[in-house]
Structure 1
Amino acid sequence: MTLDQLHLLFFKNYEEASLTFSSGINCFVGDNGSGKTNLLDAIHYLALTKSAFASADAQAVKQGADFFVVKGKFTPAPLAKPETIQVSLRAGQKKIITHDKQPYLRLADHIGRYPAVLISPYDTDLIREGSEERRRYFDSLQSQLDHEFLELLIQYNGLLRQRNFTLKQGDGSRGFDALYLQTLDDQLAPLGEQLSQLRAEFLTQFIPVFQRHYAQLADGHEAVVLDYKSQLPGQNFRHLLLANERRDRALQRSTTGPHRDDFVFLMDGLPVKSYGSQGQQKSFAIALKLAQFELLAGRPQPVGEPPAKPLLLLDDIFDRLDDKRIARLLQLVANHTFGQVFLTDTNLARTDQALAGVGSDIRRFRVQAGSVTTL
């Protein structure tokens, strides 16, 4: 799979830009703040319908404009017909995603069709931040791999929102619908148990791949583990909801369930967050992303179609990673482990030197204050 063309209109600091890409490596070179990372984020929008960096889509609209458009032309497989994906948002309206000009009825139908993996300086947030960051990461990955999981997650989150809204209605004496809460719990319980089970099953597949990549990055000096923390295994979720109902009503939110799960990152039995060095945390985060790439690249394809490697987005790695970790990534690039690559850097000479032995078709772009030219 390749992204052949990208067109932006009023996206972040771009008024308009059109780019045609190499099927190999594409380098965006420019000063900090020029808009290099925004190009990667535009590609992320095409792949996953949302920003990799901002929580609100409205933040992607260029200042002074009232809408944005990101359009890309993909070739899903060799000799296949190109497909055009467009993401657009107008102020005060719903975001629209189209495939060959036909809008998706549900955004979920798009997830997983054009996979992408981003390696950025913010990846260590997965280690340092709270459980919500880790749940979001693993849910996004698993959703691209397994549509059953995605459908369950959508249903569960919808019911959870209704449950939390119900808990906020009144103080127990007025406006509170206890019967409706029981009905929601009856529907929520089996979905939550299935989600927890699918997460646990997924990790049995993910962990060995992750551990192998970490060993290659860190020369196998530390033993790393992902520990899935959930309240549900061995428990009846419906009973847990009932047991916690009084507390939930007092706090006006649901305090138990898979939306409270966490993924604990350990190194030699100790939390990486507290005991891992900065370098170890970076290796841990990169190993997570390399395992993500491998699983996405190896997912089953329709009969007769070759494996579809995800797009690889590398943000600012030459500035933020040491030579050893950069060398490992470039070795994988040179070995054609990855397919199409997009990377950002501030120094063209450094980029050229790093990629000198890669042997792929390389296209370079100069980014300056929201404008892009081919070098």
Structure 2
Amino acid sequence: MTLDSLHLLFFKNYDEANLALSPHINCFIGENGSGKTNLLDAIHYLSMTKSAFAATDAQCIKQGADFFVAKGLFSLPDSPTPDTIQCSLRVGQKKLITHNKQPYERISDHIGRYPVVLISPYDTDLIRQGSEERRRYFDSLISQLDHSYLELLIQYSFSLKQRNALLKQFAERHTFDRDYLQILNEQLVAAGSQLVQLRQRFLEEFIPIFQRHYLELADSRESVTLEYKTQLIEQDFAELLRLQERKDIALQRTTVGPHKDDFVFLMNDGLAVKAFGSQGQQKSYAIALKLAQFEILSNSKKHKPLLLLDDIFDRLDERRIKRLLQLVANHTFGQVFLTDTHLERTDQALAGLSEQVARFRVENGTVRPL
């Protein structure tokens, strides 16, 4: 799969941008703050219908504008003609995602069609931050692989939102509706129990792939793994909700369920990577997660995802950069997009590669071929 062209209007710091892209390697060169990462984020938006960095869609609209448009032309190996994907948002309106000019009935139908993997300096946040960050990462990955998982996740999130609203209503109105609460409990249990099973099944395939990539990246030979931590393995979800009912009413929120699960990152016989891993080990762990993500998506989709490499030359040591470039040289990856501040460094790093390389200069929200 390749992204053949990219067109932007009022996306982040760009008034307008039009790029014809290489099917192999694309390098965005510019100073920090010039807009290099915003180009990667636009590609991520076209694939995932959301920004990888902005908290809200509205933050993707250029300051002073009232809308943005991101449009890309995707070529798939099993399709005779390219697909045109457009994402747009106007202030005060819902975002619109179109496939060959036809809007999706549900935006979720787009997820997984054009897979993407982003390796960025923020990847170690998966290790350092809380469980919500890790759930979001794995939910996004599994959703690209399995549309039924995404549907269950949407159902669960909707029922959870309704249940929390009802609990808040109980407190505000000093009422209690047992029948409605039971209906919402049943909806949560039906979707949530399946989510847990699918997460467990996914990790059985994912962990060996991840461990192999870590060994290829790491300086040392420490063992690594990850564990899925959920209350629902040993206890029935419906019973848990019943036992926690008084606490939920008092706190006005649902305190048990898959939305409280965690993915625990471990090394060397059960030590937490967050507490005991060096910076280098944490970086290797995070990159290994992303490389395993790339491999498992490639195997599932039968075509390679887009790979976005943000600031790897500034933030990674020579060993890890060399490993990533070896994978590029071995045609492990398909189309690659990378950012850097120094053209000479990028040219030197890519000098041994036979692939077609396109270079772009990025300056203050403008981009042009070199």
Q: What band does the TM-score fall into relative to the shorter chain? A: over 0.9
Hey, what does 2:193 align to over in structure 1? 193
- The aligned amino acid for 1:149 is Y
Cα shift readout 1:98-156 (whole Å, capped 9, x = no counterpart)? 00000001111000000000000000000000000000000000000011111111111
Q: Distance in 2 between matches of 1:241 and 1:332?
A: 47
Q: Distance in 2 between matches of 1:130 and 1:57?
A: 23
Q: Distance in 1 between matches of 2:36 and 2:177?
A: 51
Cα shift readout 1:246-270 (whole Å, capped 9, x = no counterpart)? 0000000000000000000011121
Q: How many residues align?
A: 369
Hey, what does 1:6 align to over in structure 2? 6
Hey, what does 2:334 align to over in structure 1? 339
- The aligned amino acid for 2:94 is K
Q: Distance in 2 between matches of 1:78 and 1:232?
A: 41
Unaligned stretches of 5+ residues in structure 1: 301-306
348, 353, 356: which is aligned to 2:351? 356
Hey, what does 1:146 align to over in structure 2? 146
Q: Distance in 2 between matches of 1:26 and 1:103?
A: 29
Q: Distance in 1 between matches of 2:186 and 2:299?
A: 37
Cα shift readout 1:53-97 (whole Å, capped 9, x = no counterpart)? 011001000000000000000111166201100000000110110
Shift in alpha-carbon separation, 1:45–1:132, aligned structure 2, 3 A: same
Unaligned stretches of 5+ residues in structure 2: none
Q: Distance in 1 between matches of 2:313 and 2:263?
A: 29
Per the TM alignment, residue 359 of structure 1 is displaced from its structure 2 partner at its CA by 1.3
Calculate the aligned-residue CA RMSD, in Å.
Answer: 1.1
Find out whether 1:253 has 2:282 as its counterpart.
no
Hey, what does 2:63 align to over in structure 1? 63
Per the TM alignment, residue 175 of structure 1 is displaced from its structure 2 partner at its CA by 4.0
Q: Distance in 1 between matches of 2:9 and 2:178?
A: 49
Q: How does 1:1-375 map to 2 (within 5 A)?
A: 1-77=1-77, 80-171=80-171, 174-219=174-219, 221-268=221-268, 269-300=270-301, 307-375=302-370
Q: Distance in 1 between matches of 2:366 and 2:244?
A: 55
Q: Retained in 1: the 8 A contact 2:96–2:103?
A: yes
Q: Distance in 2 between matches of 1:82 and 1:58?
A: 29
Q: Retained in 2: the 8 A contact 1:190–1:237?
A: no
Per the TM alignment, residue 173 of structure 1 is displaced from its structure 2 partner at its CA by 6.5
**Matched position secondary structure for 1:298:** helix
- The aligned amino acid for 1:315 is D
Per the TM alignment, residue 5 of structure 1 is displaced from its structure 2 partner at its CA by 0.4
Point out 4+ residue stretches in structure 1 off by more than 2 angstroms: 170-178
Hey, what does 1:304 align to over in structure 2? none
**Matched position secondary structure for 1:109:** helix
TM-score, normalisation: structure 1: 0.97
Per the TM alignment, residue 219 of structure 1 is displaced from its structure 2 partner at its CA by 4.7
Q: Distance in 2 between matches of 1:257 and 1:187?
A: 12
Q: Retained in 1: the 8 A contact 2:304–2:334?
A: yes
**Matched position secondary structure for 1:15:** strand
Paired-residue identity, %:
69
**Matched position secondary structure for 2:170:** coil
Cα shift readout 1:224-255 (whole Å, capped 9, x = no counterpart)? 01011000013211111011010000000000
Q: Distance in 1 between matches of 2:227 and 2:186?
A: 29
